[in-house]
Amino acid sequence: MGLDDRKLEVLRAIVEDYVATQEPVGSKALVERHALGVSPATVRNDMAVLEDEGYIRQPHTSAGRVPTDRGYRLFVDRLSRVKPLSPAERRAIERFLVGAVDLDDVVHRAVRLLAQLTRQVAVVQYPSLTRSAVRHLELVPVSTTRLLLVMITDTGRVEQRVVELPGPVDPEEITDLRRVLNATLAGVKLVDTPPLVQGLVERAEPQAKATMSTLVSVLLETLVERHEERIALAGTSNLARMGPLDLSTGALRPILEALEEEVILLKLFDEVKAGSARVRIGDENEVVDLRSTSVVSTGYGPGATVVGGMGVVGPTRMDYPGTIATVRAVARYLGEMLAQH
């Protein structure tokens, strides 16, 4: 890499000043604001080397310099120190999430909180059905020929479907069906349930085979095979804070369109792990329409088990240390809540 400690400190100062001021940074300002221990002329020479190496660039509108994607990458990898959250910030996160009444409430509180704290676009994936296990199955009679099938997972997610039965079913039969379903499937990962579900018809009593066959069909078609992934989004208005140096002309519309596609948003959480943040800067993003942004993401779940992902999308000019700390903290609290409930 060929950068000595002083040039790395100059790069750190440029990144921190540019993120704070949103203005290109000049050598005089760096000397005034940072204890670099050298003259403006030396800083100018260091900046020239950093520019030649591709870590900073000079916008045509100013004599100051701004970091490039490569400069941000070096900053994140080698220079940034994750800011510890203050006790007040930790208490605020805990209080905001603790009052949630169910999984939907938890996810929506988490995504709003993340958007407010980071002032970026926040994205939270609901606990994935592919990573969940069955906690309980409930059958609720709607009429003599119609049931509501409710599945509750170990991550608190609730899925429900209306089942049209082939004929009238009495309450005793419903109780038996409920008992058999839970005895067979409770505690089993959803990805492991298909052979068990298919075996339910064979083991059913003769008078219950037609009803069980209908239930099995609904289970396989909707709750097991259609692993619907859900996403919560908040803070898209924060994109308005991206300035002319953050975006090329017309770049905002593709970002907004990308954020409307759940398939694209789910890609943000590929390979996420609990406890560590993944940072993709500019062209490192697989999604072309997000290559003028940075994405900070992590996984969450009870303990070391990852059941979903969360993160933020914002300009490459973001407060990386603060954003990484916030994303990790909210993910940790969300994982603890899932573990408790």
Better-predicted residue by pLDDT, 19 or 271: 19
Provide the sign of the torsion angle of the four alpha carbons 26, 32, 34, 38, taken in this order. Answer: positive
Percent above pLDDT 90 for the chain: 47
- Enumerate residues 6+ apart whose C-beta is below 8 A from 267: 286, 287
Residue type, 83: K
Model confidence at 272, pLDDT cuts 50, 70, 90, reads confident
| 304: DSSP letter | T
C-alpha separations of 9 from 4, 43, 80, 204 in Å: 9, 10, 11, 72
| Contacts with 9 (C-beta within 8 Å, 6 or more apart), sequence order | 34, 36
Q: Is the pLDDT higher at 207 or at 224?
A: 207
Phi and psi at residue 251, to the nearest 5°: -80, -15
Bigger pLDDT: 100 vs 300: 300
Residues 6+ apart with CB under 8 A from 139: 147, 148, 149, 150, 174, 177, 178, 181, 215
Task: Output the pLDDT for position 99.
Answer: 79
Tens digits of residue pLDDT in 123-153? 999 988 778 889 999 999 999 899 999 988 8
Query: What would the DSSP string read from start to end of 228-260?
Result: ---EEEE-GGGGGG--TTT--TT-HHHHHHHHT
Whether the pLDDT of residue 166 is over 70: the answer is yes
| pTM of the predicted protein model | 0.82
Mean pLDDT in the chain? 88
Distance of CA 109 to the CA centre of its chain: 13
Q: Is the pLDDT of residue 61 over 90?
A: no
Specify the pLDDT at position 1: 47
Taking residues 265-291, what's their average pLDDT? Answer: 88
Residue in 127, 132, 125, 136 with CA at minimum distance from that of residue 191:
132
The mean pLDDT value for 225-237 works out to 82
Tens digits of per-residue pLDDT, 282-293? 999 988 899 989
DSSP type of residue 86? P
Predicted pLDDT of residue 318: 92
Phi/psi at 309 (nearest 5 deg)?
-125, 160
Amino acid at 243: G
Q: Tell me what pLDDT residue 341 has.
A: 64
Residue 226 pLDDT class (50, 70, 90 cuts): low
Confidence band, pLDDT 50/70/90 cuts, at residue 68: very high
Using DSSP, state whether 139 is helix, strand or coil. Answer: strand
Task: Label residue 300 exposed, middle or buried (CB < 10 Å: 0-12, 13-18, 19+).
Answer: buried
